[in-house]
Amino acid sequence: MSPRRDRLRLVSHFPGRLRVRAETFRVLPEVASEVVASLSAEPGVREVQSSPVTGSLLVIYEPRELQLPRLVQLLVRAGELGGIEVDASEDWSKHPTQGARVRETVSAWNESIQKLTGGKVDLRAAVPGSLAAAGAAMFLAGRRRIPEWYDLLFWGYVTFTNLNHPGEEPHADADPP
């Protein structure tokens, strides 16, 4: 039999649980049943369920025994599908890059701290300074908790050195001191 033109769509995934959908599984429920039988015999697959109404398959698997790329390959081959379909319903190029919202929020905090301190302190000094101050306070108070005071001092030092490379120019949007 030649591969079908239909493609497999990954609906959701969490390690150990994969839901996929294909129109073939809805239109030809016998194909879905064959895929269920084929996958059930694979090492690492614990359970496979099909839904003829939606054309979806739910695969419960052991991620240490069977990795996602191999599982998807098995599904495409067993269903004789034409490959994998990328969700083209949205133009992903218009979405902000990963972490853009986090960077915007942190940037806003940084601007607030700079305004409050007259441009003398920013997050590159405030975060490690806060960690170091908390570590010193815990040490002086004699408090022994997790994290330990020396952990906070170390994190403060490492954060400061990572954020303040020697010879690094301030960002263009930062106010000069």
Residue 58's domain comprises 9-78
Place 1 in a pLDDT band, splitting at 50, 70 and 90: very low
Asked whether the predicted pLDDT for residue 78 surpasses 90, the reply is: yes
Asked whether the predicted pLDDT for residue 175 surpasses 60, the reply is: no
Is 174 part of a structural domain of the chain? Answer: no
- Final residue of a structural domain among 46, 78, 110: 78
Q: Which of 124, 102, 104, 128 is nearest to 114 (CA)?
A: 124
From residue 75, how far is each of 52, 59, 164 by CA, in Å?
16, 10, 49
Is 95 part of a structural domain of the chain? Answer: no
Query: Do 27 and 68 lie in a common domain?
Result: yes
Query: Do 73 and 104 lie in a common domain?
Result: no
Helix (H) or strand (E) holding 60: strand 56-61
Number of domains in the chain: 2
* Preceding peptide of 147 cis, ω within 30°: yes
